Amino acid sequence: MSSSGGNTGGQGSTGGRGGAGRNGQGSSGASAGGRGKGGPRDTSRRNAKGRERNRGPQRSFTEQAPSQRTRRADPARLVAFEVLRAVAEEDAYANLVLPARIRQHHLDKRDAGFATELSYGALRSQGTYDAILARCVDRPLSQLDPAVLDALRIGVHQLLAMRVPAHAALDQTVGLARAVIGAGPSALINAVLRKVSARTLEEWLDLLVEGETDQTKIAALRFAHPEWIVRAMRQSLVAHGRPATEIDSLLEADNAAPVVNLVALPGLGSLDEALESGAAPGELVEGSALSSGGDLGRLASVRAGTTRVQDVGSQLVARALAAVDLGAAAGDAVADRAAPAKATVPSTADEAWLDLCAGPGGKAALLGALARQRGATLLANEPAPHRAKLVSQALSAVPHDSWQVRTGDGREVGTEQPERYTRVLVDVPCTGLGALRRRPESRWRRSPKDITDLGPLQRELLASALAAVRPGGVVAYVTCSPHPAETTAVVADALRKRDDLELLDAGAALDAVSLTGKLHAGHDMTAQLWPHIHHTDAMFLALIKKKA
Ligand X SMILES: C[S@@+](CC[C@H](N)C(=O)[O-])C[C@H]1O[C@@H](n2cnc3c(N)ncnc32)[C@H](O)[C@@H]1O
Residues that bind ligand X (CB under 6 A): 17, 314, 356-363, 381-384, 387, 409-411, 427, 429, 461
308 bridge partner residues: 263
CB 204, min distance to ligand X, A: 36
Residue 244 · residue 237 · CB < 8 Å: yes
Nearest-angstrom CA–CA distance, 410 and 70: 55
Torsion of CA 238, 241, 246, 249, to 10 degrees: -110
Annotated binding-site positions: 357-363, 382, 409, 427
CB 261, min distance to ligand X, A: 13
Which of 208, 251, 480, 529 is the catalytic position? Answer: 480
How wide is the angle at C-alpha 328 spanned by C-alphas 325 and 333, nearest 5°?
55
Residue 406 · residue 380 · CB < 8 Å: yes
Residue 156 · residue 132 · CB < 8 Å: yes
Residue 540 · residue 490 · CB < 8 Å: no
Nearest-angstrom CA–CA distance, 229 and 538: 14
**478 vs 519 by CB, closer to ligand X:** 478
CB 253, min distance to ligand X, A: 20
What lies within 8 Å, CB to CB, of 455 at 6+ separation is: 485, 486, 489, 490
426 bridge partner residues: 477
How many helices and strands (H and E) does the chain possess? 22, 13
CB 17, min distance to ligand X, A: 6
- Residue 352, H or E segment: strand 352-355
Which amino acid is residue 379, in one-letter code?
L
**208 vs 466 by CB, closer to ligand X:** 466
Nearest-angstrom CA–CA distance, 36 and 114: 15
Does 430 qualify as catalytic in the annotation?
Answer: no
User: Taking phi first (over 0 means left), then psi (-120 to 50 degrees means alpha), and beta for anything else, what does residue 263 get?
Assistant: beta
**117 vs 427 by CB, closer to ligand X:** 427
- Residue 227, H or E segment: helix 227-239
CB 439, min distance to ligand X, A: 13
Q: What is the CA radius of gyration of the chain?
A: 24
CB 540, min distance to ligand X, A: 11
**14 vs 23 by CB, closer to ligand X:** 14
**243 vs 456 by CB, closer to ligand X:** 456
How deeply is 194 buried, as exposed, middle or buried, from its count of CB atoms within 10 A (0-12, 13-18, 19+)? middle
Which amino acid is residue 415, in one-letter code?
T
Residue 529 · residue 455 · CB < 8 Å: no
**170 vs 357 by CB, closer to ligand X:** 357
Instruction: Report the SS3 class of residue 30.
Output: coil
**127 vs 362 by CB, closer to ligand X:** 362
Nearest-angstrom CA–CA distance, 322 and 379: 14
Annotated binding-site positions for S-adenosyl-L-methionine: 357-363, 382, 409, 427
CB 484, min distance to ligand X, A: 18
Instruction: Report the SS3 class of residue 26.
Output: helix
**224 vs 358 by CB, closer to ligand X:** 358
CB 363, min distance to ligand X, A: 4
Nearest-angstrom CA–CA distance, 123 and 270: 36
Nearest-angstrom CA–CA distance, 511 and 367: 18
Nearest-angstrom CA–CA distance, 272 and 345: 24
CB 351, min distance to ligand X, A: 19
**112 vs 367 by CB, closer to ligand X:** 367
Residues labelled catalytic: 480
